[in-house]
Amino acid sequence: MEEDYRASSYDYDELFVKSLSLFSISQNNLLLLLLLLFVVLLLFLAFLVFFYNFLEIHFLADLLTAFRGNPVSLTYNPSSQLYKSVASKCRILHGRFLPTPWLSSPHLQTAFLSLVAKSPHVTYKRLFFLSFFSLAFVFFCRP
């Protein structure tokens, strides 16, 4: 006679505890330690993936493309005079770009430039231009 397992009154929690009690205490501790190690490893891997994406590191993508770089992408109007006179004749804009592999993140590049490299000293003079619209704004929008 076939039994209907859905209708049976097995207490699955009790069966699970009984099956665990068949192991010795040292085996239970080993299983618990392996389970804990697996969970810690998964959390560490998730943290590495998050950190890799958060810092926008592209070393693995560069490694998969054999460090050949990516084509330079421009947003432009091909019928503009500026493109015809400058961008169409510049070989660099039609080539590939690859940053250094050891600075494969824009955040790492910024940190390197601010902490290690010496940026050139730039002096500038601030100029203030008044136009018709700025004068009209000052004149008509005074409180």
What would the pLDDT profile of 78-114 be if each residue is shown by its tens digit? 888 888 888 778 888 878 887 788 888 888 888 888 8
Q: Measured between alpha carbons, how far is 88 from 80 in angstroms, rounded to an integer?
A: 11
Rounded percentage of the chain residues whose pLDDT exceeds 90: 12
pLDDT at 3 > cutoff 70: no
Rounded percentage of the chain residues whose pLDDT exceeds 70: 85
What would the pLDDT profile of 28-81 be if each residue is shown by its tens digit? 788 889 999 999 999 999 999 998 888 888 888 888 888 888 888 878 788 888
What would the pLDDT profile of 71-80 be if each residue is shown by its tens digit? 888 787 888 8
